[in-house]
A = this chain, B = another copy of it.
Amino acid sequence: MTADHKRPEDVRAALLAAAEQLIEAGPASEVSLRACARLAGVSHAAPAHYFPSKAHLMAAVLTRAFDDLSDRMEAGRAASDGDGFDRLKAIGLAYIGFALDRPNVYAMMFSTPYPDGADGEMAQAGARASSILAEAVARTERPPTVDQDLGVTFAWVNVHGFVSLLHALKPGSGASREATMAEADRMLSLMAPAFRV
């Protein structure tokens, strides 16, 4: 050791990468700060120099994950060429695809109690994903009983709820990704009456 004065910001990146890797590998609750440090090749107290607490490290990982999620939602939107509801559904399917690909990270995003001061960057990253959904809802034609807020709630509830269903019954997880996405499509289609005139 002691010969590792490589580059200044490398350690931070290595810690983030290690944390991400550990989260993806195992159950969220079994990720330890010390294991991240070990994997990153630094001492067990090194993380403290970059993140005030473990929760802040996790928040940093989740911030990046939120960006990934947003990117996928935008990609889904771009790939859709139907009407407003089709676009909304495509975004929802992209959302579900993200949760399928990174289940442990996804679970953390919506179960972790965020650090005290609420990492500003993460709130912003979450807001981006949220606004993509809101905008897609705004572009649908809805019956008078469905205002913007209720529409957003309904849409998010369905995509997130579907993901939760998969997680709750995960042990089996027998279905292939294709079959799961097909089921998601069928279910999201049930929302149509709320987003078409």
A190 at the interface (CB under 8 A from B): yes
Q: In the bound complex, what is the Cα–Cα distance between A191 and B162 (angstroms)?
A: 15
A115 at the interface (CB under 8 A from B): no
Instruction: List CB contacts (< 8 Å) of A11-61 with chain B.
Output: 27, 29
A-B contacts besides A156-B161, A193-B193, 13 pairs, CB < 8 Å: A27-B113, A29-B29, A110-B168, A111-B111, A145-B186, A153-B187, A154-B187, A157-B158, A157-B162, A157-B187, A158-B158, A161-B162, A190-B194
Q: In the bound complex, what is the Cα–Cα distance between A164 and B160 (angstroms)?
A: 8
Q: A162 and B168: CB pair below 8 A?
A: no
21 residue pairs from A and B, CB less than 8 Å apart: A27-B113, A110-B168, A111-B111, A145-B189, A150-B183, A150-B186, A153-B183, A154-B187, A154-B190, A156-B161, A157-B157, A157-B158, A157-B162, A157-B165, A158-B161, A160-B164, A160-B165, A161-B164, A190-B191, A190-B193, A193-B193
Q: Mark A156-177, 1 if CB is under 8 A from B, else 0.
A: 1111111011011001000000
A78 at the interface (CB under 8 A from B): no
Q: A150 and B193: CB pair below 8 A?
A: no
Specify how many copies of this chain sit in the oligomer. Answer: 2
Q: In the bound complex, what is the Cα–Cα distance between A34 and B30 (angstroms)?
A: 19
Q: In the bound complex, what is the Cα–Cα distance between A113 and B28 (angstroms)?
A: 10
A107 at the interface (CB under 8 A from B): yes
Q: In the bound complex, what is the Cα–Cα distance between A160 and B161 (angstroms)?
A: 6
